[in-house]
Amino acid sequence: MSLARIAAITICAALSLHSAPRLTTIQDTIYKADGTRFNGSAVITWMPFDSSDNSKIGLQSLTVQITNGAIRVQLVPNSDATPVNNYTVQYSSDGKQQFTEAWSVPPSTTPLHIKDVRVLAANGTTGGGVVQPPSQSPINESNVIGLLTDLSLRPIRGSAYAAGRTAMVNDNGALDSVVGNLGDCVRVDGSAGPCFDPSYLPSYSEYETPAGIIDGLNAVFTIGETPESASSLAVYRNGLMLHAGLDYNFQSDGSIVFVPGAVPEPGDTLLASYRTAVSSGEIVAPPQVQAARVQVLCSNSGAGTTSVNNTLLGSCTIPARTLAMGDRVEVRFNLAHQGTSKGYTFQVRWGEATMVKRTASAQDAMITGHGDATIGPAATTLDMQTWGTTLTLDSKIVPATDPLNADISVDFLGAMNASSSDSVSLQNYTVIRYPAQ
């Protein structure tokens, strides 16, 4: 071999030895908590760094097999690297990742144990080596991929934003706070205002006697106020509800005009019930009073019977949890007897309790009743007054213990005292709730 070739090989070998970074050996035995030896692998990854001898270490990873607990690997020292860098070691066994730790490898000519290089175990404890502080250089938001786009999708605070208030989205898509009083209601457009409309507060006129002469000739009668709508007007003749358009017509001036053939005759009784609206110029009730206005639970005509057995003539079911302590429920009814040969019995029941049960004579052409159910803390108090054509006035007070969390049925029953062609019918019944305020 020529002298020149030998010199070239020597120079190349010297350059190769000079360019190779120095390495530190990590050698240890890993055990499981039960004393058996760990079998698996360790994947070691690192970010690019410059070692203390200016060797350029690129981004890469290394997989080391661990057999019968034995691990041995050589790594470039990174405890004095630029920038500060740690090796990330992920241990796997039985087909899944078991734990992860970080290594800071110092320069060493003798093999080191894992405890000498471990800087952060999976449980957060520190081991051998020194943890270097991360770089304090700020990172621009624009350098984080997708951050600015994600931030632009989030709503931002508007100029009217305030903590502890209901939020709304303004015209610019920012979050503002709704302005208003604490008792106001919020509308879908973000505005706030009272939870009721002071220009519309309904009230009711119950069983008003229309003004007008009942002589069989006069067909025009008037009522005290203008109904909110014609559909809210109910007209009764001798307890029977009449039909608008068939028996009478309601005029725009507030008058009731009976059609020919339906004009009230002497001795007839007319009653009218309707809903009105309070104008904004009148006294406005506060919201809590407005919410407590009367509620008509049932109002209807009933059936008739000729049977000597108790027959259900009408019923009103009060749904569960409708009533509360302090409420009062008014119960009214009218019965009509057709015939004069036999008497009859009638009764009103509130759930399992009987509000009234009486016997009328054959001469009682009409029976009427008016009672209340007062909801108390321990029980409901029932009282009822009844009288008829010849039946004397009678009052009765009884307790009821029906639970308010179940439906309560108000039933009207009737039966003839003996078989005959006579019958008894429920002309009308009404159940009204007056909520506690």
Which pLDDT score, from 0 to 100, does residue 140 have? 79
Which pLDDT score, from 0 to 100, does residue 153 have? 80
Which pLDDT score, from 0 to 100, does residue 200 have? 53
Which pLDDT score, from 0 to 100, does residue 210 have? 92
Range of weakest confidence among 32-36, 202-206, 212-216? 202-206
Q: What domain range includes position 221?
A: 201-278
Residue in 346, 351, 359 with CA at minimum distance from that of residue 380: 351
The CATH code of the domain that includes 372 is 2.60.120
Which pLDDT score, from 0 to 100, does residue 127 have? 42
Give 284's DSSP letter.
P
Last residue of a domain, one of 278, 303, 335: 278
Instruction: Give Rg (Cα) of the chain.
Output: 47
- In a domain, residue 143? The reply is no
Range of weakest confidence among 93-107, 140-154, 164-178, 206-220? 140-154
361 and 430 in a single domain? The answer is yes
- In a domain, residue 416? The reply is yes
Last residue of a domain, one of 62, 94, 120: 120
According to DSSP, the residues that pair with 350 across neighbouring strands are 353, 410
> With 50 as the cut, is the pLDDT of residue 144 above it?
yes
| Comparison of pLDDT for 161 and 222, the residue scoring more | 222
Which pLDDT score, from 0 to 100, does residue 258 have? 95
Residue in 308, 213, 311 with CA at minimum distance from that of residue 268: 213
Give mean pLDDT, residues 28-52: 91
Give mean pLDDT, residues 337-362: 95
Task: With residue 411 as reference, give the H or E element that holds it.
Answer: strand 408-416
Cβ(192)–Cβ(248) below 8 Å: no
pLDDT-based confidence at residue 359 (cuts at 50, 70, 90): very high
- In a domain, residue 138? The reply is no
Work out the number of other CB atoms within 10 angstroms of the CB of residue 129: 21
> With 50 as the cut, is the pLDDT of residue 128 above it?
no
Which pLDDT score, from 0 to 100, does residue 8 have? 53
274 and 306 in a single domain? The answer is no
258 and 326 in a single domain? The answer is no
CA angle, 332 then 334 then 335, to 5°: 140
* Cα 30 from Cα 67, distance rounded (Å): 9
- In a domain, residue 221? The reply is yes
Give 150's DSSP letter.
H
pLDDT-based confidence at residue 196 (cuts at 50, 70, 90): low
Give mean pLDDT, residues 163-168: 83
232 and 304 in a single domain? The answer is no
How high does pLDDT run on average in the chain? 84
| Comparison of pLDDT for 339 and 226, the residue scoring more | 339
Residue 115 φ/ψ, nearest 5 degrees: -65, -25
Helices assigned H by DSSP within 133-206: 147-152
- In a domain, residue 170? The reply is no
pLDDT-based confidence at residue 137 (cuts at 50, 70, 90): low
Which pLDDT score, from 0 to 100, does residue 286 have? 46
Q: Is 374 exposed, middle or buried (0-12, 13-18, 19+ CB in 10 A)?
A: middle
Which pLDDT score, from 0 to 100, does residue 284 have? 45
pLDDT-based confidence at residue 411 (cuts at 50, 70, 90): very high
Number of domains the chain is built from: 3
205 and 91 in a single domain? The answer is no
Residue 12 φ/ψ, nearest 5 degrees: -60, -40
Which pLDDT score, from 0 to 100, does residue 393 have? 92
Range of weakest confidence among 3-12, 185-194, 209-218, 264-273? 3-12
Q: Please state whether 254 falls in left (phi above 0), alpha (psi between -120 and 50) or beta.
A: left
pLDDT-based confidence at residue 1 (cuts at 50, 70, 90): low
| Comparison of pLDDT for 374 and 148, the residue scoring more | 374
> With 90 as the cut, is the pLDDT of residue 10 above it?
no
326 and 217 in a single domain? The answer is no
Cβ(408)–Cβ(402) below 8 Å: yes
| Comparison of pLDDT for 204 and 16, the residue scoring more | 204
Residue in 157, 175, 153 with CA at minimum distance from that of residue 166: 175
Which pLDDT score, from 0 to 100, does residue 97 have? 81
Per-residue CA distances from 355 to 130, 141, 398, 427 (Å): 90, 78, 7, 19
> With 80 as the cut, is the pLDDT of residue 361 above it?
yes
pLDDT-based confidence at residue 18 (cuts at 50, 70, 90): low
> With 60 as the cut, is the pLDDT of residue 227 above it?
yes
267 and 304 in a single domain? The answer is no
The CATH code of the domain that includes 85 is 2.60.40.3390
Last residue of a domain, one of 225, 244, 278: 278
CA angle, 323 then 325 then 330, to 5°: 55
271 and 304 in a single domain? The answer is no
Structure-token pair, residue 244: 């608008």
pLDDT-based confidence at residue 384 (cuts at 50, 70, 90): very high
34 and 100 in a single domain? The answer is yes
| Comparison of pLDDT for 71 and 183, the residue scoring more | 71
Which pLDDT score, from 0 to 100, does residue 190 have? 80
| Comparison of pLDDT for 270 and 1, the residue scoring more | 270
* Cα 380 from Cα 400, distance rounded (Å): 5
pLDDT-based confidence at residue 71 (cuts at 50, 70, 90): very high
- In a domain, residue 191? The reply is no
113 and 38 in a single domain? The answer is yes
- In a domain, residue 130? The reply is no
| Comparison of pLDDT for 304 and 198, the residue scoring more | 304
* Cα 343 from Cα 118, distance rounded (Å): 105
Which pLDDT score, from 0 to 100, does residue 309 have? 95
213 and 309 in a single domain? The answer is no
Give mean pLDDT, residues 10-35: 75
Cβ(40)–Cβ(91) below 8 Å: yes
Give mean pLDDT, residues 215-228: 90
Q: pLDDT tens across 256-308, in order?
A: 999 998 999 999 999 999 887 654 444 444 444 444 467 888 999 999 999 99
Which residue type sits at 59?
L
Range of weakest confidence among 101-105, 116-120, 288-292? 288-292
Cβ(428)–Cβ(241) below 8 Å: yes
233 and 331 in a single domain? The answer is no
Burial 149-163 (b: 16+ CB within 10 A, else e): eeeeeeeeebeeeee
- In a domain, residue 171? The reply is no
